[in-house]
Amino acid sequence: MMKRMILILAGCVSLALGCVGVVLPVLPTVPFLLLTAWCFAKSSRRLHSWFVGTKLYKQHLESYVQKRGMTVRTKLTLLGTSSTVMLLGFLMMGEVPVGRLVLAVVWVCHVVYFVFGVKTLPAVSRRQKE
C-alpha cells in the first residue's frame, strides 16, 4: 500500500513537471511523461488508463511507445531543447574543464542516440489523422 502511494505521488509530481516542460523549453517534457506513465502503470490501472487517454500523452509519447520511434519534428524539438540546456551548463562551467568535457560527451551521446537509436517515423498529415 505504501509503495503504491509513493508511485502515485511520484507520477503526479512527474506529470506536473512534464506539463511545465511543455511550456518552458528549459525543462524536458518526454522523460517526465515517461516516468508518469511508468509510475501510473505500476500503481493504478485507473490512473494509467486516464493518462494514456490524455492529449498530452498522445502528442508527446504515443508514437514512441507504440512504434518505438519519433517524427523528425519531435526529435528536433527534443534535441533543440536539451542542447540549449546543455549549452547553458557548458557556458557556466568555464572554470571547470572536466565538467565541460563530461557535458560534451553526454551531449554527443544524446545526439547519436536520437539520430541512430530512435527510429524516425514519417510525419502524419492532418488528413491522415482524421
For 1, the 3-state DSSP assignment is: coil
Burial class (CB in 10 A: 0-12, 13-18, 19+), 29: buried
The answer to whether 33 and 60 are in contact (CB under 8 A) is yes
Q: pLDDT value at position 30? A: 76
Report the C-alpha gap between 74 and 56 in whole angstroms.
14
Report the C-alpha gap between 111 and 106 in whole angstroms.
9
The answer to whether 56 and 33 are in contact (CB under 8 A) is yes
pLDDT digits (tens, 9 = 90+) for 101-123: 988 898 898 888 888 888 888 87
pLDDT digits (tens, 9 = 90+) for 35-80: 898 999 999 999 999 988 888 888 777 777 777 777 888 788 778 8
Nearest to 36 by CA among 19, 55, 59: 19
Q: pTM score > 0.75 for this model?
A: no
The answer to whether 36 and 18 are in contact (CB under 8 A) is yes
Residue 126 has pLDDT above 80, yes or no: no
Q: pLDDT value at position 40? A: 92
Residue for grid cell 560534451: 104
Q: pLDDT value at position 74? A: 77
Q: pLDDT value at position 124? A: 66
pLDDT digits (tens, 9 = 90+) for 2-48: 899 999 999 999 999 888 877 776 667 777 888 898 999 999 999 99
Going along the chain, which residue ranges are E strands?
A: 69-71, 119-121
Q: pLDDT value at position 78? A: 76
